[in-house]
């Protein structure tokens, strides 16, 4: 049985993302947006957001635009 069926509490993807970014900032208050995105995406160590994004045929700016609202807490 799925846990949310027992508790009645189901976390959607947006809430999970928000909570993840909140946890990253609690663990490291000085973490940058780029570092948090890479951690959330489980990127390889020592890769920049630009390199990571290009491998996925996206742009770093697109990742920033998407995740910034979760990073700043809105």
Beta carbons of 25 and 36 less than 8 angstroms apart: yes
Tens-digit pLDDT profile for residues 8-17: 777 788 999 9
Query: Considering the entire predicted model, what is its pTM?
Result: 0.84
Cα 45 from chain centre: 16
C-alpha to C-alpha distances, 36 to 20, 23, 52, 74, nearest whole angstrom: 9, 10, 13, 16
What are 47-68's pLDDT values in tens digits?
Answer: 999 999 999 999 999 999 999 9
Q: Nearest Cα to 65, choosing from 26, 25, 37?
A: 37
Query: What torsion, rounded to 10 degrees, do the Cα atoms 66, 68, 69, 73 define?
Result: 150
């Amino acid at each position: 049985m799925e846990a949310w069926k027992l508790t009645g509490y189901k976390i959607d993807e947006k809430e999970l993302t928000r909570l993840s970014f909140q946890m990253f900032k609690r663990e490291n208050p000085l973490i940058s947006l780029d570092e948090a995105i890479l951690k959330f995406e489980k990127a390889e160590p020592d890769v920049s957001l630009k390199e990571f994004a290009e491998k996925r045929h996206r742009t770093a700016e697109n990742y920033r635009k998407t995740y910034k609202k979760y990073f700043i807490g809105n």
